[in-house]
Amino acid sequence: MNICWANTDSFNEADIVVVGIPDESKSHALRKGTSEAPHKIREISTIRDTYRRGNDISIGLPLDGITKKIYDHGNIERNQVSETITKIVAEKKIPIAIGGDHSISTEIIKAISRKYGPLSLVYFDAHPDFISSVRGYYGSVFYDVLDSIDIESSIQIGIRTPEKEEIDNIKKYNIEVVTPFDISRDGIHKTEQRIMNKLGKNVYISLDMDVIDPAFAPGVSVPVPLGLGNIEVTYLLKALAAKGMSGLDIMETCPNYDIKDRTSHLVSRIIGEVISSAR
């Protein structure tokens, strides 16, 4: 089953390639089931973002429409991530990866940086994922990719539950953090400008769905109250896509704990909106 936004069966003619990575082997979350997200997101995308009138099927497009060619690569194993992403970016296509636990992002970021050099990482998450005392799991992603990013032009958005070790690392490496309280105070337009002024040339976006408040995205592996609204996050993602992105991942959707598939459907809509803005 392909995501509903896929509009070509040809990898060669695609501008954007969607890849599912159904793996949660590096997660320590009490909630299990993020490995089911790629299938569920595609399924709900097909059910809720398409309309049937007799034998005709149409898609509920974003208002801007979709002009890019989208290819759904299907699912891959964790040990295929580096090779697959390398192939996608070597052909100058944009990967959109669906996980799975957030540690998958580490291999994606490393693969893309080998093509483009140090990346401006825009990291949407309730957690900084900046643990350095333990490596190679979903809580150490930001530390694990330090050699692959440009710290000066990278930024974390939505952080609201850091551990003491992570606060120390944020201060040590002088990482800029935009909290939900910052966005509430400054407004979305000022926040957009703050982010854009920070970024360099090659921008990579990593989205942990727990950055969004559980009121909008209940089906995540580690929900945290006081999060961002779904419109705020999607607005910022669209702005980043319009600027130009080298890739995007969307991680930590946990269908087992969702409510009527609201989170999976939100992911589908986010992907559609990002694609509609991508340049």
Q: What is the CATH number of the domain that holds 86?
A: 3.40.800.10
* Coil, helix or strand at residue 55: coil
Encoded tokens for 207: 């989205």
Encoded tokens for 125: 């998450």
Residue 232 lies in a domain: yes
Residue 177 lies in a domain: yes
Q: Is the pLDDT of residue 170 over 90?
A: yes
Half-sphere exposure (Cβ direction) of 272: Cα atoms closer than 13 Å: 23
Residue 41 lies in a domain: yes
User: Dihedral of CA 74/79/82/83: which sign?
Assistant: negative
Encode pLDDT of 114-161 as tens digits.
999 999 999 999 999 999 999 999 999 999 999 999 999 999 999 999
- What per-residue confidence (pLDDT) applies to 161? 98
DSSP summary character for residue 169: H
- What per-residue confidence (pLDDT) applies to 56? 87
Residue 3 lies in a domain: no
- What per-residue confidence (pLDDT) applies to 61? 95
- What per-residue confidence (pLDDT) applies to 54? 85
129 known member of a binding site:
yes
Residue 103 lies in a domain: yes
Encode pLDDT of 86-106 as tens digits.
999 999 999 999 999 999 999
The total number of structural domains that make up the chain: 1
Residue 118 lies in a domain: yes
pTM: 0.97
- What per-residue confidence (pLDDT) applies to 201? 92
Task: Count each helix (H run) and each strand (E run) in the chain, helices first.
Answer: 9, 10
- Name the packing angle between helices 230-243 and 262-277 (round to 10°): 30
Residue 10 lies in a domain: no
The position carrying tokens 């930590």 is 252
265 known member of a binding site:
no
64 known member of a binding site:
no
In whole angstroms, what is the distance from residue 225 CA to residue 211 CA? Answer: 9
Domain encompassing residue 238: 16-277
Encode pLDDT of 28-75 as tens digits.
999 999 999 999 999 999 999 999 888 888 999 999 999 999 999 999
Let me know if 59 is exposed, middle or buried by CB neighbors in 10 A (0-12, 13-18, 19+).
middle
Q: Is the pLDDT of residue 277 over 90?
A: yes
Q: What H or E segment, with its residue span, contains residue 250?
A: strand 247-251
Cis omega before residue 20 (within 30°)?
A: no
- Name the packing angle between helices 262-277 and 37-48 (round to 10°): 80
Rounded to the nearest integer, the mean pLDDT of the chain is 97
Q: How far is CA 275 from CA 68, 170, 200, 237, 271, in A?
A: 7, 31, 21, 10, 6
* Side chain identity at residue 174, one-letter code: N
Residue 48 lies in a domain: yes
210 known member of a binding site:
yes
In whole angstroms, what is the distance from residue 60 CA to residue 29 CA? Answer: 34
Encode pLDDT of 204-234 as tens digits.
999 999 999 999 999 999 999 999 999 999 9
Encoded tokens for 155: 């930024």
